[in-house]
Amino acid sequence: MKVEIKVPAVGESINEATIAEWLKKDGEQVAKNDVLLSLETDKATVEVVAEHAGKLSTKAKAGDVVTIGAVVGMIDTELQGTTMANVATVKEEVTKPAAPISAPASAPASAASAPKPGVNEVLSPAVRRVVDERGLDPANISGTGKDGRITKYDAQTASAKPAAAPAAAVATAPAIARSNTPSGGERRVPMTTIRKRIAQRLVEAQHNAALLTTFNEIDMSGVMAAREKYKDAFKEKYGISLGFMGFFVKAAIHALREVPAVNAFIDKDDMIYHDYYNIGVAVGTEKGLLVPVIKNAEQLSIAGVELSIREYAKKARDGKISPADLGGGTFTISNGGVYGSLMSTPILNPPQSGILGMHKIEERPVVVDKQIVIRPMMYVALSYDHRIIDGKEAVTFLVKIKESIEDPQRILLEI
């Protein structure tokens, strides 16, 4: 029996995906639950596994854009009987290091060394093509795929090592005038599906909303003192460090309750107000910025928020984050401070109407009770859609954030 391999439904409103790479080759024997290929959507990377054992035949290649439900390959289960016993042997032979090669007695010592096991043997055709075209050494590429495999993205973003000029040529080459022509060359790397979608949504946000940004600054002394006092007990109980994001998520929820327009969005001629708080937390990855959503964050403690963020960050780094993890947000928080940003204007994550930008904490002189003191200060920014949020509401929202962070007990008392 031949079983079709179809592009699975990978999330609401997602109609197509790009085949990032085939992890199994055309004609290869596969076992049930083997990962066959990875798909890139506009939100995440999804792996497709074999539902049956048998011989694989592919009908689409890496880089193809395929629609949801499209048939991209077949598995012939009639060839999965005794032949599957050979699959483990084949896999073992592929990964087994080559036996050392004995050099002739007259060969120089360098020739007597055994060659390094061929990493190329476990590369997918798409990855091997990029490696060959760019002259890369797979042994120098860090793989981010399953079991450390090198993905097409890894190869596309790896740096090629320039070949060293022969010593003699360098020594005898005459001095020449410096040319104005660029000597470094250029590289054309296709945008990933995720990166193209990020670019599209950022442009949409600026074209389809009346985007404004307002700023404030926060004295972080109160939160920093609370972290210092309770960090050991917190980590002992929950197994995770006490960060700033948990405080900011809870402060944002309090502010959103006070200014509900920031937790709403425009749908044609209507304004849709949310009575729940799904807070997106921006996470930077090698493939771009992802925004996993903490669903019903108002029901979580600070510890629950921190644990959720840790789980999502790990899934994002491992390429395991799903479209469901990224959908349904009502408000977003982005922390550019982890990269050293002192101030920025974050861009909305449509259809949301507001996004809070956190920034680097920096000690600055400020006036407190008519005295100049040094305090750890952070600039915060609220970018918002002025069609639904007035300037007064935007300023009020940031003031509520400021009050909660400067006096963390307000978060517990919800005042």
**Which of 94, 126, 142 is at the close of a domain?**
94
Asked if 87 and 119 sit in the same domain, the reply is: no
- Domain span at residue 140 reads 114-161
Asked if 66 and 133 sit in the same domain, the reply is: no
Q: Residue 168 domain-assigned? A: no
Predicted local confidence at residue 376, as pLDDT: 97
Asked if 119 and 245 sit in the same domain, the reply is: no
Asked if 76 and 123 sit in the same domain, the reply is: no
Asked if 149 and 211 sit in the same domain, the reply is: no
Asked if 343 and 227 sit in the same domain, the reply is: yes
Asked if 282 and 405 sit in the same domain, the reply is: yes
pTM of the model: 0.64
**Which of 94, 127, 148 is at the close of a domain?**
94
Cβ–Cβ under 8 Å, residues 355 and 256 = no
Q: How many domains does the chain have?
A: 3
CA 227 to chain centre: 28
Rounded to an integer, the average pLDDT of 197-206 is 78
Q: Which two tokens stand for residue 222?
A: 């109160």
**Which of 94, 123, 142 is at the close of a domain?**
94
Rounded to an integer, the average pLDDT of 350-358 is 94
Asked if 125 and 262 sit in the same domain, the reply is: no
Q: Residue 186 domain-assigned? A: no
Enzyme catalytic residues: 386, 390
Rounded to an integer, the average pLDDT of 177-203 is 74
Q: Residue 106 domain-assigned? A: no
Q: Read off the CATH number of the domain in which 354 is found.
A: 3.30.559.10
Q: Read off the CATH number of the domain in which 63 is found.
A: 2.40.50.100
Q: Residue 103 domain-assigned? A: no
What's the pLDDT tens digit per position in 107-150?
Answer: 444 433 444 444 645 677 677 777 877 778 888 887 777 677 78
Asked if 153 and 226 sit in the same domain, the reply is: no
Tell me the DSSP string of 301-350.
Answer: -HHHHHHHHHHHHHHHHTT---HHHHS--SEEEEEGGGGT-S---PPP-T
Cβ–Cβ under 8 Å, residues 212 and 384 = yes
Q: Read off the CATH number of the domain in which 119 is found.
A: 4.10.320.10
3-class DSSP state for residue 146? helix
Asked if 143 and 256 sit in the same domain, the reply is: no
Q: Residue 104 domain-assigned? A: no
What's the pLDDT tens digit per position in 255-302?
Answer: 999 999 999 999 989 999 999 999 999 887 776 678 899 999 999 999
What's the pLDDT tens digit per position in 41-80?
Answer: 776 778 899 999 999 999 999 888 898 899 999 999 887 6
Q: Residue 181 domain-assigned? A: no
Q: Residue 200 domain-assigned? A: yes
Q: Which of 288, 276, 263, 233 is nearest to 382 (CA)?
A: 263
Asked if 207 and 153 sit in the same domain, the reply is: no
Q: Residue 198 domain-assigned? A: yes
248: CB partners within 8 A, 6+ apart: 333, 356, 358, 401, 405
Asked if 133 and 54 sit in the same domain, the reply is: no
